[in-house]
Amino acid sequence: MTGTSLLWLRQDIRLHDQPALIAAAHEGAVVPVYVLDDEAPGRWRIGGAQRWWLHHSLVSLAASLEAKGSRLILRRGSAVEALRKLAEETGASTIHAIRHYEPWWVKAEDALGDRLTLHDGNHLASLRDITTGSGGQYKVYSAFWRALNERMPPPDDQPVPHTISSPDIWPKSDKLSDWDLLPAKPDWAKGFSADWIPGEAEALRKADDFVDEVVDYEARRDLPDVEGTSRLSPHLHFGEISPATVWHKLDRGRNADKFRKEMAWRDFAASLMLQFPHYGYRNGRPAWDAMAWRRSEHDLKAWQQGRTGYPIVDAGMRQLWATGWMHNRVRMITASFLVKHLLIDWRAGERWFWDTLIDADYGNNSVNWQWVAGTGVDSNMWGRIMAPLVQSEKFDAGGYIREWVPELADIPDPWIHDPDAAGCRPDGYPPKIIGHREARERALAAGRAIR
C-alpha cells in the first residue's frame, strides 16, 4: 500500500477486467474520476446521442462503485487541469488510466507526464506493438489482422477487486444532472430506451446472449430484418465491457472467427489514428483532395431525414434518428449513397453519424467513412458503387423497410424495394432524388476527373 491513487475513467466505464482499477486498488485508496472534457477533443466532443448514453452509463457505474463502498467523482473542464487539481486535493501521487488512442487523449496523456501510469485494456493488444518487420505500423487490414492474430488470445480477463479502499476524505464532485447530458424537450432520444440499457451489467448480459447465437452470426449479420448482430458496439465504445472479455466468452460458442475479425477491425481503426491523427477530416489519399464534391443542403437534408426515395436508405436513416444506431450493412449502403449517388463529401456524413450514433467512435467512424468513399489508405475502390435497390432485395430488407418507413407498410415484396419503378409509390413518399444509373455515371465521371 502506497497511499491514494486517482483512477481516470474515459471510454472504459467498467469495473470488470479494468487493469487501471486493479493497479490502483493494489496501491491503496482509490478515487475514481470521470472528467467531461469538451475542450481537448474540439470538434470531436461527444455528440448528442453519445451524451444520452454517457449519462446512463455513469449512473450505472456510480451504483456499482457504491455497492463496493466507493464512489464516482465527476468534474468538468480540461481533463489535464482537473486531474492535476484532484491530485493536489487528495494527495494522490499516481493517476492510473487505460491507454487511449484518440489524438486528443494521446496529447492529454503526454501532458500528465510521469504521474500518469497507463495500462492496456481497451483493445485486444497494445497497438503500438503490432508492427511490421521494419518496425512501422500496418496500413492494410489483412496484414494487421495476421500480425494481431499471432498475439491472440488476449490476456485472461480479470475479476473486479474484492475491495476498493476509500480515501479518508472524499473530494467534492459535480452533480451529474448539472451536466445536462440528456436532451431537453422535445426529447428526441425518447425512443433510445426502448432499444438500449447502458451499463456494464447489460454489456455482460448481452455478450452472453450473443455467444449463444454466434453459430448463426455469419449467415445472419447482413440481414437488417433479423436480430443477427451482437449489438455490443456502444458497450465496447464506452468500455462497459473489454474486448478481451468478449473474446474469451466466444470460446464457448462456435463459428466465432468472423466476429473476432470485426473486433480486430476496431483495433485496426485505432491503429490508423496513431499514424494519421487527422484521419477524421483529412483524406488518407491526398489525390482525393481534388475531388469536386457537390454542395447541396437540400440533398444532404433529404439523406439525413430519410427522404431520398430509396426505401433501404430511408429506413436506415430513420432507424438511426429513432434509436441512435443503424444496422451495419445499412450503414454501408447509406454511406455509399451519400458519397457516390449524391456526390456529397464523406465528411458531411461523418459529422452526422458522429452526432447521431450512440457508438460513434473516432477511429471506426473515420476509417469506415473513408473506406466507403475510397479516400482511405485501405479502402474500397471508387468505382464500386453500391446499388441500394439490389442490396435491399438481396438482403431481404422488406420487413425492415416496413418498420422504419411506415408510408410503405402496405406494399408487398418485391415492389417495396423500389415502389417508384413498380408504379405503386404512395403520395406521401418522395420520388427518387436521383436515378441509380444517372448517379452511377456521374460518380464514375467524377472519379475519372481526379485521376
Q: What is the residue extent of each domain of the chain?
A: 1-121, 123-156+199-275, 286-449
| Known catalytic residue at 265 | yes
Question: Does CATH number 3.10.180.10 belong to domain 1-121?
Answer: no
pLDDT at site 398: 97
| Known catalytic residue at 44 | no
| Known catalytic residue at 346 | yes
| Known catalytic residue at 365 | no
Give the active site residue among 104, 346, 371, 382: 346
Overall fold of domain 286-449: DNA Cyclobutane Dipyrimidine Photolyase, subunit A; domain 3 (1.10.579)
What averages of pLDDT result for each successive group of 10 residues across the chain (451 residues)?
A: 89 98 97 98 96 98 98 98 98 97 98 97 96 94 97 95 96 98 90 96 96 80 91 98 96 84 97 97 96 97 98 98 97 98 98 98 97 95 95 96 97 95 95 97 95 75
Give the active site residue among 369, 371, 382, 404: 369
8 A C-beta contact, residue 350 and residue 280: yes
pLDDT at site 185: 78
Give the active site residue among 179, 293, 393, 415: 293
- Are 1-121 and 123-156+199-275 in the same CATH fold? no
The top-level CATH class assigned to 123-156+199-275 is mainly alpha
How far, in Å, CA of 44 to CA of 101, rounded? 14
Bridge partners (DSSP) listed for residue 73: 33
| Known catalytic residue at 369 | yes
Task: State the SS3 of the chain.
Answer: CCEEEEEEECCCCCCCCCHHHHHHHHHEEEEEEEEECCCCCHHHCCCHHHHHHHHHHHHHHHHHHHHCCCCCEEEECCHHHHHHHHHHHHCCCEEEEECCCCHHHHHHHHHHHHHEEEECCCCCCCHHHCECCCCCECCCHHHHHHHHHCCCCCCCCCCCCCCCCCCCCCCCCCCHHHHCCCCCCCCCCCCHHHHCCCCHHHHHHHHHHHHHHHHHHHHHCCCCCCCCCCCCHHHHHCCCCCHHHHHHHHHHCCCCHHHHHHHHHHHHHHHHHHHCCCCCCCCCCHHHHHCCCECCHHHHHHHHHCCCCCHHHHHHHHHHHHHCCCCHHHHHHHHHHHHHHCCECHHHHHHHHHHHCCCCCHHHHHHHHHHHHCCCCCCCCCCCCCCHHHHHHHCCCHHHHHHHCHHHCCCCCCHHHCHHHHCCCCCCCCCCCCCHHHHHHHHHHHHHHCC
